Amino acid sequence: MSAPTLEDWTVAKRAETVPGVHELVRLRWSPRSFSARSVTKDDLRILFDAARWAFSSYNEQPWRFIVARKEDGADFERLLNLLVPFNQGWAKTAPVLIITLAKKTFSNTGKPNFHALHDAGSALALLAVQATAMGLHIHGMAGFDRDRAHKELDVPDDYEVVTAVALGYLGSPESLPADLRERELAARQRKPLTELVFEGRWNHPLPL
């Protein structure tokens, strides 16, 4: 029997959903193995334009992105070195690294924008779906030094450093250490809707 191909693996990672969920949602997942294939600036333009059209409170559009491709050399290493060692170990193979940020106040009033993180997440979600449509994947990371990122990337005080992201084309899981390879190949799981969606008040599952 021949070894599984990347296409076989992608199909195997397809989410088990109720009928009618869009295929792009089912195929979106967060790998740790990336190929060496470069992501072009034209592709990045498409991805970030998709993110640009996310919804936001008062159309503030609080999201910002700091991006470095591996071809950028020092800029890529600067972002990579912000990650915790565990994430550096696999993310170094990704051709693109991203830091997401959110503006903490509304531009027209200066008042706190309590929805900024939510809205920045919506922009990243659209980017992820667009990436899936283009045969790309992203993997978001909480494991990085936010304080250092704020300082070393010259982020203004009015912006929150939110997430680190690896972006690229899927690579072979065989490139990963054994423990990560096992996690990479494992079936995807989510909590049931009964734990997530309530009817009318807390902890009364909506019958779906």
Tell me: the pLDDT tens digits for 24-76?
A: 999 999 999 999 999 999 999 999 999 999 999 999 999 999 999 999 999 99
- Tell me the sheet residues that pair with 167: 96, 138
Distance CA 68, CA 40 (A): 12
Domains and CATH numbers, the chain: 32-172 (3.40.109.10)
pLDDT in tens, 184-195: 888 889 999 999
Query: Which pTM was predicted?
Result: 0.94
Q: State the virtual CA torsion across 178, 10, 120, 93 in degrees, nearest 10.
A: 40
Q: Radius of gyration (Cα) for the chain, nearest Å?
A: 18
Task: Give the separation between CA 208 and CA 206, rounded to whole angstroms.
Answer: 6
What distance in Å separates the CA atoms of residue 167 and residue 77, rounded to the nearest whole number? 15
75: tokens are 């800029």
